[in-house]
Structures are given as C-alpha cells and as structure tokens.
Amino acid sequence: MKKCLLLALACATVALPAVAQNKIDNRLGDSAEVLRQFLAKTDGIPQNLLNKSACVLVFPAVKKVGIGLGVTYGRGVIACRSGADFNGKWSAPAMYKLDVGSLGVQLGSSSTDYVLVVETNVGASKILSGKLKLGADATAVAGPTGAKAVAANDPNVDVLTYSRAKGGLFAGASIASASMDTDDDANAVVYGKPVTASQIVRDGAVTITASGKALDSVLTKASPKRIQ
C-alpha cells in the first residue's frame, strides 16, 4: 500500500508540470488566433493604430467567476516591440493576468476576448513594471474602429481596448477599471526559469519558444515595423 501511494505521488509530481505546460501552450495558441481574427475584420483593430503600437496584450475567453460576484478574471500574453524605444522587432511573449472587476456583471455568463493596444512608450513601460490599474496608472479608452480610427491620435491615451463577445461582435471595450499584473509562475513554466515580463520583453533574456511562434508570426506579418 505504501509503495502504491509513493508511486502515485511520484506520477502526480511528474504530471503536474506537463499539465501546466499544456495549459500555457493553449493560452499562447488561443491568443495568436484571437489576435489574428481581430486584425482580419474590417471592424476590428485598425492597421494605423496597430502600426503605432509599442505593445499588444491578448486575453482570450475571459469569463466571470463566482455567482453574483461580478468578478472577471483572465489570463493572456503581452508582446512588445524590442529596443529602448520600442522600435525593434516583436519580442518573445510574456504571460499576463487581467482582472476587470465589476465588468463581469455586464458580461453575464458569456466569454469575451480582449485585445489591448499600447500606443505610448510610457504606457508600455508602466505595464511591464508589474501590477497596475488602468485609468489610474495608465490611461485607457475604448479603441476606435472604421473611419473614426483615421483621426485617432491622442498622445494622452496610453492604451486602446477592444473586445469580442461570444456572438462574434467586435467593439471598443471600456475597461478603464481593469487591473493587470505579470504572471510570473506561468513565465517560469514557459521559459524554464524565473524571469520577469520586463526581462522577457525589454532585455531579451529568452528566445521565442515553439508555442510562442504563432503569436510572433501574426504580429510580424501584420505590423513588422512601428510607424509613429
């Protein structure tokens, strides 16, 4: 009996990292597909705003958790243009967490995909520094689409937010009360060592893994060079 218990514990110890890796691989793959779909639609993220961006965050299938609590929590990724001024090629993705608080009441039981386009270097640096709240630490507004996007060039806005509900409707999403933070545990699983989002994105401390290449491909194809 004791040997069986020890064997079961050993198997569980081996299985847990594999399960975590699979979940994160799925997160990276889902994020790449969500971003691809957002960029492919005429009512999605406008090309000129993507070209101006320093970073992009993707949170696929964000859902409300808890009954009547109105708490919505999601896990996703961030990728930024490399270099001191965010003008280089796209970085390896870092894992991120999103908490949009009371917006869960609006979402009901449906899942919502979010894409956040970071337009300013200041906003990008604040996000990469760790936990922050949109609206307080970085300005955020619902991202414009279509003709409205042509004239969208407010230097005081750090982040443009977009969403897609389960029904497939794309729209600018007002999530100015959202909080974000790095997902350091997930980053350690992806890259096999403790590493911060800033080290991944700004310092180039890691290389893009096989599971992260799909997201990199979408970003590189859609906007290979920053145009400010």
Domain assignment present for residue 104? The answer is yes
Over residues 13-37, the pLDDT tens digits come to: 344 456 667 888 899 999 999 999 9
Task: Place 128 in a pLDDT band, splitting at 50, 70 and 90.
Answer: very high
Task: Place 192 in a pLDDT band, splitting at 50, 70 and 90.
Answer: very high
* Amino acid, single-letter form, for residue 139: T
- What's the pLDDT score for residue 109? 52
Cα–Cα distance between 144 and 57 in angstroms, integer? Answer: 17
The answer to whether the beta carbons of residues 86 and 40 sit under 8 Å apart is: no
Alpha-carbon distance of 113 to 32, in angstroms, equals 12
Taking 60 as the threshold, does the pLDDT of residue 10 lie above it? no
Total structural domains in the chain? 1
Among the ranges given (54-63, 87-96, 112-121, 163-172), the one the predictor scored with the smallest mean pLDDT: 163-172
Residue 212 near residue 21, CB atoms below 8 Å:
no
Please indicate, yes or no, if residue 175 is contained in any of the structural domains.
Answer: yes
- 113 vs 10, 36, 96, 102, 163, CA distance in Å? 37, 12, 14, 16, 5
Say if residue 213's pLDDT is above 80.
yes
Residue 166 inside a domain? The answer is: yes
Q: In terms of DSSP bridges, do strands 159-165 and 112-118 run parallel, antiparallel, or are they unpaired? A: antiparallel
Both tokens of 70, joined, read: 């109105």
Of 106-110, 176-180, 187-191, 213-217, the one with minimum mean pLDDT is 106-110
In a domain, 227, yes or no: no
Domain span at 213: 2-222
